[in-house]
Amino acid sequence: MPHTGSVPTTHHRPCHLCPASCGMTLEIEGDRLLSVRNDPEDPFSLGYCCPKGLAIEELHNDPDRLRRPLVRRGGELVETGWDEAYAAAAEGLAGVIKRHGKHGLATYIGNPNVHHFGALLGTELWRQLLPTKNRYTANSQDVNPHLLINYLTFGMQLAHPVPDLDRIRFLLVVGANPSVSNGSLMTAPGMPSRLRAIQARGGKVVVLDPRRTETARLASEHHFVWPDRDGLLLLAMAHVILREGLEDAAFLERWARPGVVDRLRRALAPFTPLAVSGRIGPDLDAETVTRLALEFAGEKRSAVYGRLGPSNAAHGGLTIWAVTLLNALVGNLDRVGGSMFPEALGSWIFALPQSRGSYDRYRSPQGAAEISGEYPCHILADQIERGLADPTAEQAIFGLVTFAGNPILSVPNATRLRSAVEKLEFRVAVDIYRSETAQLADVVLPPRSPLHEPFFDTISTHFAVADVGRYSPPALPPPPDQPSEYQLVARLASEVVRRTRGLAGQVRARLLVASLSPERVVGPIVRFGPRGAGIGPSGLTQARLARHVHGLEPTPLKEGRLKRRVFTPDRRIDLLPGPIRADLPRLEELLSAPAPGSGQLLLIGRRQLKSNNSWLHNLPKLQRSSHRCSLLVNPADAAAAGVLAGPALLSSRVGEIEVEVELSKDMAPGVVSLPHGWGHAPHGAGLARGNPGVNVNAITDDQAFDPLTGNSALHGVPVELRALST
């Protein structure tokens, strides 16, 4: 490192790569980031961090991270100045709106926005200034079942109970791998030690997963479950609880609707342990199901936690409902050691009517219901193709803006989506890399690095296992020649508004840009939040919060918050909402469907410690030989398919890919696992160097989705495996 004369300083801030928000210590010299390490003084992460956090230094200093915008000229993306790029982008997007109306321009909002407050406000600004029915996000490959079930049961999509992880004694993990993902909708750094601690204090962790995962290895008990069969198991557990009279009558009397227990008894009558036995997983018989139900109900400090496994499956809505139902039935909701409600600094957003969510106010031409103003991504390619076939088609898509998202790698039937996106009239990508999606764009606009911006987490703290809060100013002085994410989106939106709206629209845009800017918003959130000063002299303000450089001391979740989370008209939890009752027969059909695992291979996904969805695959620290995009196959299934470790072909209804088979006894027989986010373009100067992997979403199916929630069924895809030469 050349000596510059200035003295290195340290800066503490959370890692912005995943919800866990581990505390990091950055060593800085002037405007340069020298190194990144864990922060042992962070009171929430206690020194824990994963390999991705340590790679933030490489990410920030990566020469491939874009510093200047790109505009397509003669088929190539070339660097230009900012004014020229904004003008080209705004002209193209305004053209789409003028020709096809506001719904002709689609937006896709990707995962990193969740961890970036300025970006989040930018997308909200865009939504308000340029509304469209064609709004898509990663949610429909992720949390739609959770959001919808919260909306239907509590009347509020964000009313999400999280396991009280540090006091719980029985945790049933259904299709999540927190040891690797570090907890999703259950924010807590250092999951492996927290899970071990449950057992150390005499408690139990039971994991249901088609793969013996890193979490399953830490658990007291693991059962292979066949993809998308969890709903049967959970409802059979609820059946046992009701049959044995183990429900918490006092809790239900206070919180549930009158008569619901009888209605539930009738609705769950078919889901007996005997009826589901042999249909959920190889060793999940009636006796085991009954035992799990009794253990769960017999422990006051217990919770069921379900995440991406069942969420990304064809019965995801029903399964996630069953999770909420179980937690409420035994009265462990809003109870210490059960499922509790965090109170984040931004919890006052619960008071805003628009935070509550919505369902089925309108539908797409394919019949997909909106959820909180979004359509599910399984219709995205179709919506574009409809426009190609008929330029006057109702609600068809002709242009696309992506905000920190890479749908070309993350949405099912990606090959179909790619060829549709290629034919759009105009595309803009707001991205820090030439991602696979950015490479198709007409203009790529790269905001500056998140380390040049303040860090203030609002979303993940709503799901934290303790009450936490933190504000960190920018770690590095912002570069004068690159906008912040909010400035970038605000300028682009304003320029599109200027070209498509009259004076009144332009004045409104100016007011909104000013009032939603992060500089304006953070202060009031903190001041009027749960620990805030309000209009008084004591309590938190943004400045006082910033003085807690390692974050506020986390405090245990408190009981008594349920009353502030229920927004149904009668202020009671709806344990059997109408749309669920109407969907239940679909789950009942599984009682007579053949058990999986008999001849038909089913594909599921997995997350990897050194990977972050579709990016970070280019950073040297994260590229080690052990980190591969491989298809895990049970040796018996490989033998049956005549396949050895090494290259093979994997096909589904929508396509075929060449995969690298890795034999693994950790896979349930009949189930294979391939991580998502790989399949980088070989010429991509961005997301991969040397190890492109293969795109699993080239064989996941856009016709396979949960009709209740619109969520893509990325797990449980029927596939065929064969040797390369056949």
Ligand X SMILES: Nc1nc2c(c(=O)[nH]1)N[C@H]1C(S)=C(S)[C@@H](COP(=O)(O)OP(=O)(O)OC[C@H]3O[C@@H](n4cnc5c(=O)[nH]c(N)nc54)[C@H](O)[C@@H]3O)O[C@H]1N2
Query: Which residues in this chain contact ligand SF4 in the complex, by CB under 6 A?
Result: 15, 17-18, 20-22, 49-50, 52-53, 182, 189
Q: Which of 339, 406, 458, 634 binds ligand X (CB under 6 A)?
A: 406
Question: Is position 416 an interface residue for ligand X (rule: CB under 6 A)?
Answer: no
- Least distance CB 119 / ligand SF4 (angstroms): 17
- Least distance CB 188 / Mo ion (angstroms): 17
- Least distance CB 410 / Mo ion (angstroms): 9
- Least distance CB 111 / Mo ion (angstroms): 5
Residue 14 vs 118, nearer CB to ligand SF4: 14
Question: Is position 697 an interface residue for ligand X (rule: CB under 6 A)?
Answer: yes
Residue 142 vs 431, nearer CB to Mo ion: 142
Place of tokens 């020298």: 34
**How many residues interact with Mo ion (rule CB under 5 A)?**
1
Q: Which residues, in sequence order, are CB contacts of 571 under 8 Å at separation 6+?
A: 563
Phi, then psi, of 255 in degrees rounded to 5:
-110, -25
Place of tokens 């008071």: 351
Q: Which of 105, 148, 149, 176 binds ligand X (CB under 6 A)?
A: 176
Q: Which of 132, 182, 332, 634 binds ligand X (CB under 6 A)?
A: 182
CA distance 232 to 593: 12
For ligand X, the binding residues in 82-111 under the rule CB under 6 A are 110-111
Cβ atoms of 465 and 344 within 8 Å: the answer is no
Q: Which of 39, 62, 142, 436 binds Mo ion (CB under 5 A)?
A: 142
Best CA proximity match to 410, nearest among 600, 614, 148, 640: 614
**Which of these segments, 127-135, 297-305, 426-434, 633-641, binds ligand X (CB under 6 A)?**
426-434
Q: Which residues, in sequence order, are CB contacts of 383 under 8 Å at separation 6+?
A: 106, 134, 364, 365, 366, 375, 395, 396, 397
E-state strands within 601-644: 601-604, 631-633
* C-alpha triplet 27, 28, 29: angle, nearest 5°: 135
22 binds, among ligand X, Mo ion, ligand SF4, none (CB under 5 to 8 A by kind): ligand SF4
- Least distance CB 433 / ligand X (angstroms): 4
Best CA proximity match to 229, nearest among 152, 289, 169: 289
- Least distance CB 484 / ligand X (angstroms): 10
Residue 53 vs 309, nearer CB to ligand SF4: 53
Side chain identity, residue 301: R
Q: Helix-strand-coil percent breakdown of the chain, rounded to 5?
A: 35, 20, 45
What x-and-dash track marks residues 614-643 binding ligand X by CB under 6 A? xx----------------------------
541 binds, among ligand X, ligand SF4, Mo ion, none (CB under 5 to 8 A by kind): none
Best CA proximity match to 614, nearest among 414, 462, 424: 414
- Least distance CB 418 / ligand X (angstroms): 13
Cross-strand pairs, 170: 204, 302
**Which of these segments, 8-16, 135-143, 313-321, 536-544, binds Mo ion (CB under 5 A)?**
135-143
**Which of these segments, 28-36, 141-149, 451-459, 690-698, binds Mo ion (CB under 5 A)?**
141-149
Cross-strand pairs, 371: 359, 374
648 binds, among Mo ion, ligand X, ligand SF4, none (CB under 5 to 8 A by kind): none
Q: Which of 90, 130, 276, 430 binds ligand X (CB under 6 A)?
A: 430
E-state strands within 91-224: 105-109, 135-137, 162-163, 170-174, 204-208, 221-223
For ligand X, the binding residues in 340-379 under the rule CB under 6 A are none
Q: Which residues, in sequence order, are CB contacts of 26 under 8 Å at separation 6+?
A: 10, 11, 12, 13, 33, 35, 36, 56, 57, 451, 475
Q: Is the Cα dihedral 413, 416, 422, 424 positive or negative?
A: negative
Residue 364 vs 611, nearer CB to ligand X: 611
Phi, then psi, of 603 in degrees rounded to 5:
-95, 135
Q: Which of 148, 256, 313, 396 binds ligand X (CB under 6 A)?
A: 313
- Least distance CB 182 / ligand X (angstroms): 6
Q: Which residues, in sequence order, are CB contacts of 484 under 8 Å at separation 6+?
A: 118, 447, 448, 452, 453, 478, 518
Q: How many CB atoms lie within 10 A of CB 461?
A: 23
Q: Is the Cα dihedral 86, 92, 93, 98 positive or negative?
A: positive
For ligand X, the binding residues in 111-170 under the rule CB under 6 A are 111-112, 116, 119, 138, 141-142
53 binds, among ligand SF4, Mo ion, ligand X, none (CB under 5 to 8 A by kind): ligand SF4
Question: Is position 308 an interface residue for ligand X (rule: CB under 6 A)?
Answer: yes
Chain contacts with ligand X (rule: CB under 6 A): 18, 110-112, 116, 119, 138, 141-142, 174-178, 180-182, 184, 208-211, 213, 225, 227-228, 230, 307-310, 312-313, 404-407, 410, 430-433, 435, 447, 450, 485, 604-609, 611-615, 673, 676-677, 696-697, 700, 714-716
Q: Which spans of this chain sit near Mo ion (rule: CB under 5 A)?
A: 142
